[in-house]
């Protein structure tokens, strides 16, 4: 694509989903698909060659969901154009600016039902077999949507590529967790693949490493849920004779251990989680939003902004344990949060008596999520 000058900005197109000349023309072909006409909620990857589809979705007043970059803070962002947005504003909303300035995160507990999935590709075959950048994010995003109940076996998947990207792909390159496509749109063709190879039926935990788990907080939330549902969530580099989630939280590789402040004890079966190292300018609404996205919203939240800390109060110790695991290594803004079990509250603390650290030394304000 580079040597024949088929590539388009950003260049060079190596190590990315390549943009190409004619991508907007290829995107326009989606209007010919009945699947797009009847869809209400569409998930479109943030790749540059898919920008035209994101714009069409917004112009058609469809709900547009875009994956968060590298899934660092959640799975989806919903693009919300400002009221009375002009075509130029919608065009900006369809770019990376839209995710930054005109979007809201979609929580794990949100009722999302995606009617159509649009992904980028490096190469694709007419049989519907697809190759991405090799990092597995599109496959993982789809598997996570299955786990959330956001997509089903009949949800169509579309990819948009240049004609030269349609090639023969040996079936031996495919694995069970690889995503296949139902439609291929190029500047000159609309290809219905008729692919019968099953799409991922959920997250294949045996393909997930501790390192990846440590980088994606929402993946940890889903793992906790599936483990509680009795599913095998053993990771690729985890010995199978060990429980997937031990009684004392084991950190994924590369994550700092939970830090215990003065007055905190590691083995207390508390329902409260201590969160420290909050950004100086953090707002309680930002923390609430992040907790909702991860699916670990507490029953109530004690906010101590001046001390750059908060306490999350859960229904039971198991819920607090799940939140503790999911928040390991999580960033709010540029700050890596410090999380740990808090000391159990004494009766005098609950009625406003003096509290030992890490509880506030004055009566806290309670913010209900």
Residues with Cβ within 8 Å of 127's Cβ and at least 6 positions away in sequence, in order, are: 169, 193, 195
Task: Pick the more confident residue, 140 or 51.
Answer: 51
Q: How confident is the model at residue 5 (pLDDT cuts 50, 70, 90)?
A: very high
Q: How confident is the model at residue 120 (pLDDT cuts 50, 70, 90)?
A: very high
**Most confident among 23-27, 74-78, 352-356 (mean pLDDT):** 23-27
Q: Determine the pLDDT at residue 293.
A: 77
Query: Average pLDDT of 177-186?
Result: 94
Q: What is the gyration radius of the CA atoms in the chain, in angstroms?
A: 23
Compute φ and ψ for 166, nearest 5 degrees.
-85, 110
Which is more confident, 31 or 270? 31
The predicted structure's pLDDT at residue 114: 94
pLDDT at 195: 92
> Which H or E run includes 334?
none
Rounded CA gap, 157 and 48, in Å? 18
Nearest 5 degrees, angle CA 131-CA 136-CA 139?
A: 80
Residue 364 binned pLDDT confidence (cut-offs 50, 70, 90): very low
- What one-character-per-residue DSSP string does 244-279 give? SS-SSPPPPTTPPPPPP-TT--TT---SEEEEE---
pLDDT band at 70 (very low <50, low <70, confident <90, very high): low
pLDDT of the residue at 345: 47
Please indicate whether residue 234 or residue 135 has the higher confidence score (pLDDT): 234
């Amino acid at each position: 694509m580079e040597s024949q000058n088929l590539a388009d900005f950003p260049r060079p197109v190596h190590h990315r989903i390549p943009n190409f000349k004619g991508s907007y023309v290829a995107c326009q072909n989606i209007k010919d698909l009945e699947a797009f006409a009847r869809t209400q909620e569409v998930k479109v990857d943030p790749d540059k060659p898919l920008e035209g589809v994101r714009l069409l979705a917004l112009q058609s007043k469809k709900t547009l969901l875009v994956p968060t970059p590298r899934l660092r803070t959640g799975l989806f962002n919903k693009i919300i154009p400002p009221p009375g947005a002009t075509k130029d504003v919608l065009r900006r909303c369809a770019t990376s600016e839209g995710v930054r300035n005109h979007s809201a995160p979609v929580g794990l507990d949100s009722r999302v039902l995606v009617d159509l999935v649009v992904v980028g590709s490096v190469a694709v075959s007419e049989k519907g077999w697809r190759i991405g950048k090799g990092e597995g994010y599109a496959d993982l995003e789809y598997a996570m949507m299955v786990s959330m109940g956001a997509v089903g076996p009949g949800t169509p998947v579309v990819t948009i590529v240049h004609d030269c990207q349609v090639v023969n792909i040996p079936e031996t390159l495919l694995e069970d967790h690889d995503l296949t496509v139902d439609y291929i749109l190029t500047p000159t063709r609309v290809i219905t693949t008729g692919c019968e190879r099953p799409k991922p039926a959920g997250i294949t935990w045996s393909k997930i490493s501790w390192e990846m788990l440590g980088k994606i907080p929402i993946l940890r939330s889903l793992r906790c849920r599936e483990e509680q549902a009795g599913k095998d969530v053993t990771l690729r580099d985890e010995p199978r004779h060990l429980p997937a989630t031990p009684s004392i939280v084991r950190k994924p590789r590369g994550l700092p251990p939970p830090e215990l402040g003065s007055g905190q004890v590691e083995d207390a079966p508390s329902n409260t989680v201590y969160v420290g190292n909050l950004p100086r300018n953090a707002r309680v609404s930002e923390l609430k939003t992040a907790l909702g996205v991860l699916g670990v919203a507490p029953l109530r939240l004690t906010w101590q902004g001046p001390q750059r800390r908060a306490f999350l109060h859960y229904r039971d110790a198991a819920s607090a344990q799940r939140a503790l695991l999911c928040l390991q290594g999580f960033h709010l803004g540029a700050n890596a949060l410090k999380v740990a079990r808090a000391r159990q509250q004494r009766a005098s603390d609950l009625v406003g008596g003096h509290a030992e650290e890490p509880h506030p030394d004055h009566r806290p304000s309670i913010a209900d999520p």
